[in-house]
Amino acid sequence: MTLSPTTHSSTRLGPHELYRHWIGAKEDNTRLRARDLAQSLGVSEGELLAARCGVEGEAVERLEGDWAQLIRDLGACGTVMCLTRNDHAVIERHGVYDPVEIDGPVGVVTDEGIDLRLFMMRWKHGFAVDYPTPKGIRPGFQFFDPHGTAIHKVYAVVGETNMDAWSALKARYLSTDQSPGVTVAPKPAPPEPTPDDDIDVEGFQAAWEGMTDTHEFFPMLHKFGVARDQAMRLGPPHRIRKVGAPALQKALELARDGEIPIMVFVGSPGCIEIHSGPIKNVKVIGDWVNVLDPEFNLHVMGDAIGECYHVIKPTEDGDVNSLEVFADDGSSIALMFGKRKPGIPELESWRALLAQL
């Protein structure tokens, strides 16, 4: 796959203008993140990054090829750190991309550390990026959807990643086109939700009560045309409890204090990343609620949380309880469950935790 330099209208910043803004931000010593700088300029993060491609002194190089195969090949690099984010949350995990199973447009990585659900039909652009840090250069791979929205990022870990394998992988997928700029598709407006009055609420609630696996939830929403936040209004009332925006921080603190292993899901347009296990260091810094453990980081913008819900789904292993976190605009920020595997009942300690919210 070869990526073309961006063709811009007269009102859209081209790669050279974007690069000047990037340099200006660095000279001003701004702490503005690339994602936020791009948003302030009315462009995508992918466009801002691509503006540095091929520029002397900027370690940004375009990749091309079969992204699914690249993910499979990452296993040879050993331990790495992977990152997935949406507008309001970031999740980071250390581990190995092995085993990897990708069948057509969807796939999974199921290492004990790196646990991913992949939607490869949304992966479009890729770059190799080297970041200077106080400990040296931090190599990374970054992937974006057709609109330039970040999907997934992978970074080498000093002293743990096989850098010979990393360098070989980068060379294998390096594009011959290293010109600055990238073509992105216009981002469509989010679809208008189906009005509540047009939903078959009785049928939706019956389908919810008939679930035997939590993985049936999303297809059920699609079948009835129900948005996820809308489901919090229209689902069976005894299976949904509004618990307030501060519930995420409290749930993390209770899980830490009770040494209760949890599962945390954070998704981008093309990837869902999952942490499974205990947490130790929960810390609020400014507006962000964080978990800052050696091999797991979570960052959630606390003031972006609109509402949290305690949600109960029936399964063949008994009820499964979750905490669902939504932004003011109704978008999903994160999900939390007690750690469990199919065939194993849910932890009573997790249920007791939710009861305290």
Same domain assignment for residues 214 and 126 = no
Question: What is the rounded CA–CA span in Å between residue 168 and residue 145?
Answer: 25
**How confident is the model at residue 30, as a pLDDT?**
66
* 207 and 315 within one domain: yes
Is residue 189, in this structure, part of any structural domain at all? no
Q: What is the pLDDT of residue 25?
A: 84
DSSP state of 296: E
In a domain, 191, yes or no: no
Residue 308 lies in a domain: yes
Do 157 and 214 lie in a common domain? Answer: no
Query: What residues contact residue 242 under an 8 Å CB cut-off, 6+ apart?
Result: 232, 307, 308, 309
Range of the domain at 47: 15-173
Are both 217 and 153 inside the same structural domain?
no
Q: Enter the pTM of the model.
A: 0.94
CB 186 within 8 A of CB 44: no
C-alpha span between 252 and 257 (Å, rounded): 9
pLDDT of residue 3: 34
**Assigned domain for 186 exists:** no
| DSSP one-letter code for 196 | G
In a domain, 237, yes or no: yes
Burial label, 329 (beta-carbon count in 10 A; 0-12, 13-18, 19+): exposed
Residues paired with 143 in a beta bridge: 126, 152
My answer on whether 68 and 169 are in the same domain is: yes
- Do 284 and 216 lie in one domain? The reply is yes
Query: Of 94, 210, 65, which is closest to residue 156 (Cα–Cα)?
Result: 94
Let me know whether 165 and 201 are in one domain.
no
Both 50 and 117 in a single domain?
yes
Q: What is the pLDDT, as a whole number, of residue 34?
A: 86
For residues 138 and 158, what is the distance between their CA atoms, to the nearest angstrom? 8
Judge whether 344 lies within some domain. Answer: yes
**In this structure, what DSSP letter does residue 248 have?**
H
Q: What are the distances in angstroms from CA 188 to CA 25, 165, 261, 271, 343?
A: 29, 38, 38, 19, 40
Same domain, 323 and 282: yes
* The last residue of a domain, from among 108, 139, 173: 173
The answer to whether the beta carbons of residues 279 and 293 sit under 8 Å apart is yes
Residue 139, beta-bridge partner list: 130
Give the domain CATH number at 155: 3.40.1570.10
Give the chain's domain count.
2
Domain stop point among 127, 142, 173: 173
Residue 303 placed within a domain: yes
Going by C-beta distance under 8 Å and a sequence separation of 6 or more, which residues neighbour residue 254?
260, 353, 356
**Alpha helices by DSSP H, the chain:** 15-27, 34-41, 45-50, 67-73, 163-173, 201-209, 217-224, 228-234, 247-258, 348-355
Q: Examine residue 99 and say whether the peptide bond preceding it is cis (omega within 30 degrees of 0).
A: yes
Q: Are residues 223 and 309 in the same domain?
A: yes
* Ranges of residues in the chain whose predicted pLDDT is under 50: 1-10
- The answer on 144 and 284 residing in a single domain is no
What is the rounded CA–CA span in Å between residue 101 and residue 120?
12
Strand partners, 79: none
Shared-domain flag, residues 72 and 146 = yes
Has residue 181 been placed in a domain?
A: no
